[in-house]
Structure 1
């Protein structure tokens, strides 16, 4: 029997600010690194190149859907999808500007000739400290889509960083609970709903926040009802990850699934999950081995792709 495969991916693209940014004369709020010469054009081409190769070995096509993190605005996405490396996919995008202090957002690009976006919205959480002062982080992007006459629900997240760990850990917990609440609402109406949760969670797949708040399982057979399957647990390694944090490999970038992608009767089946860490995305640093070839390290411009590797899933139907 003939079958087809498509790629769903997530990519933290590291400080992908527009060439003309909303920050006064600045590329970053800290005002230490700016686009100049052809650096912006190089960044667009680098990210387009990476996206064009994700899952291509398995599907011989560009990704159907890519969730993105650390994108400043729509101008970046317009330039990205018009790049020659990805233009044939005829991508469109969904973007909402958050109140994040760094002006970076989650968003997505998708092949509009193949997948239809039925509904989209940002899930925004306002945090308050003990003095009543408000703080914000990136919104969670929520999408309802239709692919091959079936509905897909997709969440794209970029949770607060490991900096200021005690405060941000609680924020991550709250944001994860918001995602879980929405998942429960969907599954209450359709127990076989096809839900994908992807993002940079700034935590490992086995972290308590992810396991408990999202109710994840590491094995397919453990997903009985409303639990999420987190296949990234099987990719955890001291020798490999999606980024390097404090000189150690970490797997903060993850994609998770409901049982709608796992059962025998499912039209769509998860067949592969992986980190896209091809050699062209890497650089050798001292004796540490091949790390993600990033755009900046501190204020030093390196001209690479990103400090994260993409992660991706292959879905067969």
Structure 2
């Protein structure tokens, strides 16, 4: 299924037709979640692959066999991708790990009557923007990136594929309450304390680990390990879909890389738009989580 030049518009948001169809998107909205499911929700380039790998290792008590032999998209398929239904139908694994980039306002109703656990992972939006910009250069199923200033404007306007980062963040973080089996993880906390992040996630999904198992998880989901793991780094994807001569899916894995791209003027403009866009972010959890998300990377 190539469809590299196809864009699917769904509820006003553009999705790459290479992996999305109207049918698969509709199926996601009606997905029958099991109470034992674990859903990873994120905006692209926010640490999704990291959480996928972390969960695989935690559920296998630090044993890397699956992580080294099964592609991550088969271990934690994207709910809205056309192949997801067939992957899940052929799996007897419990709990199931499912991934999504859909915003909460589309997927929330499917989760209403489920006790499925949800992990939302977010990242400094400036770093998200830079990582997404570089990804556009290698992903032939995404539109041309244009110049960096053009890309900044499209990100801030919410017209890129997958929609507005601001709406995505606000929608999911407003639902991050313990009573709803929700956990908010950030790229920054995983970067600064991977050991602690693994223990936090293992506790949330009620899969306790002994110290040696935690250390194995740390080893095999470190950025350097994932960058060299062909089951994670997307080097298995053919060059006509991802041009590996134009970049690497796992590029730097750093906090604050936006500083190498943003001009002072772009940063000021971004901060102005951020302040305006997030003024409706009034829940305690949203306000508490957004502040360190922005400033932790600024200090790096």
TM-score by length of 1: 0.26
TM-score by length of 2: 0.27
- Whose relative contact order is higher, 1 or 2, with alpha carbons under 8 Å and at least 6 apart? 2
- The structure with more strand, counted as a fraction of residues: 1
